[in-house]
Structure 1
Amino acid sequence: MQDTFSLALEARTTWANFRVALVASEGVRTGVVKSLADTAGATARRLGFITYPDATMPNLIADVPELIQQWSDGYAEGADAQTHYAAFLTDWATDRSEAEEDAQQMRAEAGESGEEIDSPDGAHLADALPPIDAATFRAVHSRITKMASEANRRCGQSYEYMVSLLCGMVEGMLDEFAPEERPAVVLVARSFGYLSPDELAAAEKEMADAGYCSHGLDYWTCPCGCFEN
């Protein structure tokens, strides 16, 4: 991760380049001028996000109102992500508790019937969901938030299609993580409506059996040609 000083310096130098470009263009916000302003703001916003809650605003940007606002917005997003992280840890703990209860019940039932079980599936479910640190969670949550926004933009107001789009994007992202990290990432994605490939296939089959296409629409409402022979 880029250190906060480097980000602050990048935001300030980009802002300085923006001011120079603005003067050179005689106050006209050309594409280049706007791009520099947007980049400086985005960098300051990123800086605020990653430093929550451990740092105050760097002096390098503390005298530029526009960068102050972007940093503050990013800091607020970091605080919001921390709230979501706390909820994630609660969900993880709940999954762990339920998995242990299921494992105990399976062992008890096996003992009553005289069966031997080495490692019931539920017994290690919790161990497969290690908590991820706050910084990693923020990055994952931020990415999936953007994915969900993109899926929502493209879905044509069909929830089922939005879920399908989101699942495809999340599946592509999972390949970037080590196998032991993926269950934790999936747990984050589930709060946005993510379904596993098997769950998505089952949901689409249920819709098909009821006369709906993968977009969640019927013969009379789907504009995508799903019901054409």
Structure 2
Amino acid sequence: MKYKSVFDIIGPVMVGPSSSHTAGAARMGLVARNLFRRQPKWASVHLYGSFAQTYKGHGTDVAIIGGLLNYNTDDSRIIEAHVHAKEAGLQVEFHVEEAVLDHPNTARIIIGDDDEELEVVAISIGGGMIEIIELNGFPLRLSGNYPAIVVMNNDRFGCIANVSKVLAQYELNIGRMEVSRKELGKKALMTIEVDEAIGDDVIAEILKQPNILQVTRVVD
């Protein structure tokens, strides 16, 4: 993993005590909420490895809840996130898992409301940095550190080219793009990080392209 600045090493401005277990956890919750596109009504959080062993002492639980409430890593309200969640009507359950995964700081966050459910698997890689490695069963890599969109589309010829063409039209440089699918010819997923903010006009133009089902802006 290459760090782009000293702040990637020492971590962000945050509510402590840990950049990996607190700031990273808050960012996990925040990115999950952004992917859901609204405040969820409930959350089921499964913690693995080091997260499972120390989550109460390091504030991983309140940090994830804070992220789900749209709090940034430096928001002092994270400390009382349990209370704020009850006030907001957000019900959260935590589950300590014994399975050994590839990364010690792993969380599976399942959130939903009366209409929809979303599941992400995220890892905290240090310095408050994270990666979303799975979204609703689709493998991906999403850092949450750069302006990004997640595009759901039918697995058809030309979809990737059409989305890339729109981004080029608006002079948005692609920093990273990954595509994944579960089955040939079914639904596919594009994860695209760019260098500048992605406007509503860009989202609208992508949605006009053939076989595009949904576009979610993850980071402004």
Q: Which one has a larger percent strand, Structure 1 or Structure 2? A: 2
TM range (shorter): under 0.3
Q: Which has the larger radius of gyration?
A: 1
Q: Higher relative contact order at CA 8 Å, sep ≥6: structure 1 or structure 2? A: 2
Q: Which one has a larger percent helix, Structure 1 or Structure 2? A: 1
